[in-house]
Structure 1
Amino acid sequence: MIFSNVEEPFSGARRRVFYCLPFVHFLHSLLAVLFVFDQIKFHILIFLGYIFRLCNFVIIFRVQAGLCRGIAMKPIAIIQHVALDGPEYFLDYLNRSGIPSRIFRVYAGDALPPDVRDYAGVASFGGPMSVHDVAEHSWILPEIEFLHRAVAADVPVIGHCLGGQLLALALGAEVSKAEIPEIGWIDLQPAAAAVTGEWFGDRQALRVFQWHSDTFALPAGARLLASSAFCRNQAFLYGGKHLGMQFHCEVKAPMIRKWLQVGYQEIDGHDLPSVMSVDEIDASLDAGMPQSHAQADAIYRRWLQGVYG
């Protein structure tokens, strides 16, 4: 043959290289596409990252504002029994924490809500009346029933002084005259060391403001949290989240001074170690309030853990 001595142009290694060329071109094209896609993907990931951050910020903001869709923050129902004894520092704490609330002024005719489950928690406050003055105050029996329904529905309740007595009554305990009244600053003794840290913030001295002549018995199944030298049942916990207190950790100095103006005769009528004089109370308020409010912070913080988790 004429070409018998001529090497075939696509034989051996050259042929293998030739056959590989389409594959190499394909890889090159694929890498080029992947490179472009990788750049696009990189920018897409950056864009998605910004979207994620924005969504995260919006979610956090809406949760804090109590507006998160599907888990809207329910408000705290506040029950006020008299104009001169309101939520005071408790309301300050809620507002500072961004927690919504609604005040029901039962002394002014406000009706309590028909469904307690519309609220995350219930806070009941004090007043000069007795829980047994049902003839003079038409709201007492409805409130006792309301608190009973709150406990049954697992809606946490916190009661201050009269509010603590109403909670005790709703839980089936008795409320009666105390052996002696307590008016002024009173030292408390925690029932157990663990209680101090959990509910009172590991404070070395538990000193609270008091103004009461009635006291509650401990409800069946409740845990005693604190006592004083003059009144054993100062605070109880029921079901791990319902707190009844005999004292006023919610009050502020201007309100107490108003109490002194209208209730001085009650103080002057006693000569007891559990009752401070009007002058002693007035002189002690500016120094005593910071400690009282710091103690209230610990109590409210712990109670709200049972409300919102």
Structure 2
Amino acid sequence: MTAEPDRPTILELRHVECESPGSYSAGLAPVADMVTVRSWREPVPTDPSPYAAILVMGGPMGADDGATIPWIADELALLRRAVAADIPIWGVCLGSQLLAHALGAAISTAATPEIGVSDVELTSDGRADPVWSHVPTDEFPTLQWHFDTFDIPDGAVRLASSSAYPNQVFRHRGSYGVQFHLEVDAALFDEWLEIEDYRTELTTHLGEDAVHATTAAVARVEPTTRPIAETVIRRWFDEYVR
């Protein structure tokens, strides 16, 4: 009997407990093992070589907050080493900004935050991309929750935009920065709203009914976002992860 080959290991960098891989997990669980490092309480690895890929999740902090949050510099150093070693990275929201920053791009705070469920649209490069071309529609809804944005790094390609923020997805070789939260389904969003700061931020920017309205919107689009999340993360794995 031939032994089954070892499964690759993906490193997840998590920045707050509730911002987990969510719907992405269903695409990765059949093909890879996940090791989670909670960066706010555990040392960030310095060597990316034990991992086949790195998944960098979101969080309320900023990619430029290294002066007050020491692990941000540690993550940026790890991501630079991973890029140099051609280890693919999938960055989500804060993770996308950290990836862009690690690649030398600027991070900036926009005049207006992008919060709530809204549409993003694939660019022509996105529609031809090895991963995002498998999304069945050029435009789709997703949860947004960010104040900062990134420039497209040198050597990268913009794959998706929204009406408010033109830079929503980019690819640099086998690494992807994804500004929005495809991974968040209704159950995970409920976990987000257990945090008082998240609830306050939502009502501050969208009004007193925002918790109810956004919860309903996330549940409404879940039949679209969940299969897209599973599709793109699995296509990324199949295309780039060794």
Q: Normalising by the residue count of structure 2, what TM-score does the alignment of the two structures yield?
A: 0.90
Task: Structure 2 unaligned segments of length 5 or more: list them.
Answer: none
Secondary structure at the counterpart of residue 114 of structure 1: coil
| CA spacing shift, 1:116–1:197, aligned 2, 3 Å | closer
Partner of 1:279 in structure 2?
Answer: 212
| Partner residue in 2 for 1:213 | 147
One-letter code of the match for 2:32?
I
**Do the aligned partners of 1:156 and 1:306 also contact (CA within 8 Å) in 2?**
no
1:306 aligns with 2:239: yes
Q: Would you say the 8 A contact 2:23–2:230 is kept in 1?
A: no
What is the aligned counterpart of 1:137 among 63, 66, 69? 69
Q: Within the alignment, does 1:245 sit opposite 2:178 as a pair?
A: yes
Q: Determine which of 191, 196, 212 is the counterpart of 2:123.
A: 191
In structure 2, the partner of 1:80 is: 14
1:291 alignment partner in structure 2: 224
Q: SS where residue 159 of structure 1 aligns? A: strand
Letter in 1 for 2:45: P
Q: 3-state SS of the aligned residue for 1:226?
A: strand
Alpha-carbon contact 2:131-2:236 (below 8 Å) kept:
no
User: Pick from 128, 140, 151: which aligns with 2:60?
Assistant: 128
Q: Give the aligned partner of residue 199 of structure 2.
A: 264
Give ranges in structure 1 of 5+ residues lacking alignment.
Answer: 1-54, 67-72
Distance 1:157 1:271 in 2: 32
Cα deviation, 1:110-135, whole Å, max 9, x if unaligned, reads 22233211110001000011112223
Distance 2:213 2:133 in 1: 25
Greater strand share, structure number: 2
SS of the equivalent of 1:87 reads: coil
SS in 2 for 1:127: coil
Equivalent-residue separation in structure 1 for 2:130 and 2:74 (angstroms): 35
The 8 Å contact of residues 168 and 218 in structure 1, kept in 2 or not, is answered as: yes
Residues 90 and 120 of structure 1: is their aligned pair in 2 closer, same or farther, counting only changes over 3 Å?
A: same
Give the aligned residue type for 2:224: Q
Q: Percent identity?
A: 34
Q: Is the 8 A contact 1:162 1:246 kept in 2?
A: yes
Alignment-mate amino acid for residue 15 of structure 2: H
Query: Which structure's residues are more often helix, by fraction?
Result: 1
Q: Distance in 1 between matches of 2:135 and 2:70?
A: 40
Amino acid at match of 1:184: G
Deviation for aligned residue 1:92? 3.2
Bigger radius of gyration among the two: 1
Provide the C-alpha distance between the structure 1 equivalents of 2:27 and 2:234, rounded to a whole number of angstroms: 9
Q: How many residues are aligned here?
A: 237
Q: Which amino acid aligns with 1:194?
A: R
Checking the alignment, whether the CA contact within 8 Å between 1:200 and 1:295 is kept in structure 2 is no
Q: Does 1:254 align with 2:187?
A: yes
1:174 aligns with 2:106: yes
Q: Per-residue deviation at 1:280? A: 1.3
Alignment partner of 1:92 is 2:6: no
Contact 1:211 1:247 in 2 (8 A): yes
Per the alignment, residue 117 of structure 1 pairs with: 49
Q: C-alpha separation between the residues in 1 aligned to 2:69 and 2:40?
A: 8
Root-mean-square deviation over aligned CA pairs = 2.1
- CA separation in 2, counterparts of 1:127 and 1:163? 8
Partner of 1:45: none
How many Å separate the matches in 2 of 1:243 and 1:181? 22
Q: Residue 196 of structure 1 contacts residue 203 of structure 1 at CA under 8 Å; is this kept in 2?
A: no
Which amino acid is 2:136 matched to? R
User: Which 4+ runs in 1 deviate beyond 6 A?
Assistant: none
Alpha-carbon displacement from aligned partner over 1:164-217 (angstroms, at most 9, x marks no partner): 000000000011112321111111111116337841524224211111111111
